[in-house]
Structure 1
Amino acid sequence: MVILQVERVAMLLATIMATMMQCYVDGFTVQSNFDFAVNMRRRRRARRQRVLAAALAAVRPGHGERRLRRQPVDDPRQMRPRSLVWWEETALHADARFWKENFRMTRQSFQLLCNTLSPSLQRESSNGLAVEKVVAIALYRLSTPCDLRTIGNLFGVGRSTVCEIVQEVCKAVVSLMLEQYIVWPADDRLRQTIDCFEGKYGFPQCAGAVDGTHIPIIAPKNNPADYHNRKGQHSIILQAVVDDKLRFTDINVGWPGRVHDARWNREINGVLMPIVILGDPAYPLLPWLMKGFSEGVNFDDPKRNFNYRLSRARMVVERGFGQLKGRWRILMRRNDSALLKVPQMVSACCVLHNFCLEQNEGYDDRWDAPDNNQPINVPLNDQDVGSGVDIRNALLRYFS
C-alpha cells in the first residue's frame, strides 16, 4: 500500500514538472516571436531612413546625415535664395525692353526717380534694403496685377514687406514730386496749351478737360453704401483736369483760384471769355466750365456742331485716364489697401504718369486698359450760371 502511494506521488510530480517545462518552452517561443517582430520593425525603419538620407544627399549635397525638418511653405528663408535670382541676376542686367515692360520706364528714368526719392526713403525706410530695390518693388506692384506673395517671391522679401514698401514709396512720391509734376500751366506753357486746343481741336480759350473715373476698392467697414457705384462695385472717384499732352494738371480738388487771371481773357463775338475747361453733361455750366447742349426739341445743327467740337477736344481726358490705368494697372482692379491709403496710391500713380511723360517714356498700346469708365455724378450744387450760358452762346456763334 505504501509503495503504491509513493508511485502515485512520483507520477504526480513528474506530470507537474512536464507541465512547467512546456509552459517555459511556450513562453520562450512567444517572447522570441515578439522580439523578432520588434527587430523587424526596427530594421525596416532603419532601411527607410537610409534610403531617405541617400535621396536627400543626392539633392542637397552635405545634408545626407542630417534629419529633414519640416518647415512652413511660406517661410521667407526658404523662398529668398531662389527669389533673389530674378532681381539680382535678371532685372539688374536686363535690356531697355525688359525695364519698360516690368517697370514702365527705362533704366535711366528709373535711376532719376531713385535719386529724387532717395532722401525720403533712406530716412524713413526701416527694412534695410537698397533704394533701387525698394523703388523697383513699388513700381512692379503698381504696374502689374500680381499679388503680394508673387512680388515677394520675385524680390526675396515677405508679403508684409512689399505692402510697407509700396506705401513708403507712394508717400515719398506725393510729398516730394506732386507739386513739381502736377501743376496748373502758366505763362508759356499755358499759352502753348491754349494754342494747341484751338489749332488741333478747334476749341478756343481751352486749357484742358475735366472728368472723373472710378477706382475700385474693397468695401469699407464704415458707411459702405456711400462708396457703392452704378456697376455694383465699391469705389472712390479720381477727378482730374488733363491738358493737350495728356498730363494731369489738377487732381482730386476743385478748379484752382489762380487760373482766373484777367490777362488771359479774350473777347469772342462781343463776350469777354475767360480760360475754360471742358466737361461732360454731369457738370454744371459755369463761366469757366463748358459742357454740351442737351439733345432736346431745339437741338439744331449749330448746337450739334458745338457738341462735336467740345466732345472731340475733351477726349484728351478719356485718353489720359486710359493711359494712366494702362501704365499703372493696379488702378484697374480692386485695391484691397486700407481706405485711407488708397488716395495716396492714386495720387502717386498720377505723379508717375506725368513723370514718364516728362521723360519722354512712350506709351505702349499693348498696355491699353478696357474702357470701364462710367459717368460720374459730380456733387456740385451750382447749376447753369447766366454768364456761363452767355459764353457758350458766344462760342456757338463763333463755331457757326
Structure 2
Amino acid sequence: MQHRPLPCLSSLLSLCYTGVYGHTHEVMDGGLISTAPGQTENGWPTSGCEEPVLIVCATHSVHGSCAKTQITVSVEVRVAICIWRLSTNLEYRSISHLFAVGLSTCCLITQEVVTAINVILKPKYLKHPSAAEFRLIAQGFRDRWRFPQVAGAIDGTHIKIRAPPDSSSDYFNRKGDYSIILQAVVDHKMKFWDINVGRPGKVHDARVFSLSSLYEQGSAGTLLPHHTEMFEGIDVPLFLLGDSAYPLLNWLMKPYPEGGGVTPQQLNFNHRLSQARMTVERAFGRLKGRWRCLLKESEAHITFVSRIVSACCVLHNYCEEHNEEFLEGDYAVEQTEGVRYQEEVNAQQQPNSIRDALCHYFSAM
C-alpha cells in the first residue's frame, strides 16, 4: 500500500492542485483523485493551512542564491514535489508523472527546497534551547518519567545509502548496510535540539559523539546552563541521558554495567534511565515514519544525503510543534543500543558520584 503524505501537508497539496488546475485534487495511491472544493476526500481542510512558512522557504529557493531551475513552476508545486519526495517512497519518475514536471526538474526542485529548508527553517525550528527552555525540558522529563535534571536524551541512528565509490568500507556498518549516522538530542516532547549527521556508518557511536560540536561544547561547559540540584549531598547538574555506548560524564548519564555485581538499586536506576531515554528512540521512529525516504537506501549523492536528513529533522520538529497527528502503530520504536563504551579506570569519579546520588534518590522514592 502506498504511504500517504501527512494530513497537514496533504491540505497543502490540495491547495497546490487548486492553484494549478482550478479545483481540488488529492494525490493518493499513485493517482489524482478529484474532490469537492474546500476539502480533501478524507475531510482535511484546504484552507487555514499552517504551511506559509514552507511557502516562504520555497520562495527563497526560487529567488535565492540556491535557485538553479529556469522552468516556471509555482512555489506551491515546488513545496508539494519536495514533500512528496521526502514523505513517500515514490521515485522521482513517479513524482514527475504526478505533477507533470520533467524528471530532472523534479530532482533540482527537491534539492533547492531541501537547501532552503536548512537555510530558512532550521535556525527557527531546530536550535539550541535557551536557559528558560532548558528549565521547561528538565521539568518535562521530571513530570513524565520522574527523572530530575534531564536536559535531553541522546542516541544515534543509521541512514542507509548506496555504497560510495571511494572508501566504501568506512560506511559499511555492523548490521551489513552502507550508511551514514545521525546523532541527535531530543527534548521531552521528542523534538530535536541538536543533530550531527554524516559520519560513516562504521564509526562507533562514542567516536561520533567525541567528534561532534556537542561534545566540544559540553567539555567546555557551554552546552547546558549551570543549574544544579542537591541529591544525597551531591550537587547534580543538568545532563543528557545516553545508553551504554556513551561515556559517563558530569553532563551525560548512562546505565550501570549489568553483570554479576549489579545491585537491585542500580537495576532500578537503569530501568528509569531506559524509560526516559526511550524519548529519543520514539523520535527516530516518528522521524522515519513521517519522512519515509529515510527508510530506504538513498540514491542521492552522499554529501546531499546529510542535507536531506537535516531537512527531515527540521520538518519533524515543525510537525511536532504544530501537533501533527501521528499514530504510534505506524512505526516501530528503534532499538539502537550501541557497542558498550569502555570506561577508563579511575577516570570518572565525579560522574560516578552523580550517578550514585541519583541511584540512592530513586531507591528512597
For normalisation by structure 2, the TM-score amounts to 0.78
Within the candidate set 142, 162, 172, 2:106 is matched to 162
Please state which structure has a larger fraction of its residues in helix: 1
Within the candidate set 56, 66, 71, 1:115 is matched to 56
Within the candidate set 292, 304, 321, 2:255 is matched to 292
* 1:185 matches 2:148: no
User: How far did 1:135 drift?
Assistant: 0.7
**Partner AA of 2:110 in structure 1:** V
User: How far did 1:373 drift?
Assistant: 4.6
Q: 1:268 to 1:230 in 2, by over 3 A?
A: same
What is residue 212 of structure 1 aligned with on the other side?
A: 156
Instruction: Give the structure with higher Rg (CA).
Output: 1
What is residue 79 of structure 2 aligned with on the other side?
A: 135
- Residue by residue over 1:345-388, the C-alpha shift from the partner in whole angstroms, topping out at 9 and shown as x without a partner, is 0000000111112222222346x234565444599998862221
Task: Output the aligned Cα RMSD.
Answer: 2.8
- 2:152–2:241 CA contact under 8 A, matched in 1: yes
- 1:284–1:382 CA contact under 8 A, matched in 2: no
Whole-angstrom CA distance in 1 between matches of 2:344 and 2:153:
19
Structural mapping, 1:206-245, within 5 Å: 206-245=150-189
- Residue by residue over 1:123-157, the C-alpha shift from the partner in whole angstroms, topping out at 9 and shown as x without a partner, is 32523211110011000000000111111000001
* DSSP 3-state at the match of 2:156: strand
Q: 1:261 to 1:374 in 2, by over 3 A?
A: closer
**Partner AA of 1:290 in structure 2:** M
Whole-angstrom CA distance in 2 between matches of 1:381 and 1:343:
31
Range with greater deviation from structure 2 (228-237 or 90-99)? 90-99
* 1:320 matches 2:283: yes
State how many pairs are aligned: 312
Q: Gaps spanning 5+ residues in structure 1: where?
A: 1-83
* 1:369 matches 2:310: no
- Residue by residue over 1:50-92, the C-alpha shift from the partner in whole angstroms, topping out at 9 and shown as x without a partner, is xxxxxxxxxxxxxxxxxxxxxxxxxxxxxxxxxx899735149
Q: 1:245 to 1:298 in 2, by over 3 A?
A: same
Q: Gaps spanning 5+ residues in structure 2: where?
A: 1-16, 27-33, 197-211
**Partner AA of 1:369 in structure 2:** Y
What is residue 191 of structure 2 aligned with on the other side?
A: 247
Identity %: 39
Whole-angstrom CA distance in 1 between matches of 2:44 and 2:277:
29
Range with greater deviation from structure 2 (313-322 or 89-98)? 89-98
For normalisation by structure 1, the TM-score amounts to 0.72
- 1:111–1:132 CA contact under 8 A, matched in 2: no
- 2:153–2:277 CA contact under 8 A, matched in 1: yes
What is residue 349 of structure 1 aligned with on the other side?
A: 312
What is residue 338 of structure 1 aligned with on the other side?
A: 301
- 1:87–1:154 CA contact under 8 A, matched in 2: no
Whole-angstrom CA distance in 1 between matches of 2:286 and 2:44:
14
Please state which structure has a larger fraction of its residues in strand: 2
Q: 1:213 to 1:100 in 2, by over 3 A?
A: farther
Q: 1:284 to 1:87 in 2, by over 3 A?
A: farther
Whole-angstrom CA distance in 1 between matches of 2:341 and 2:257:
20
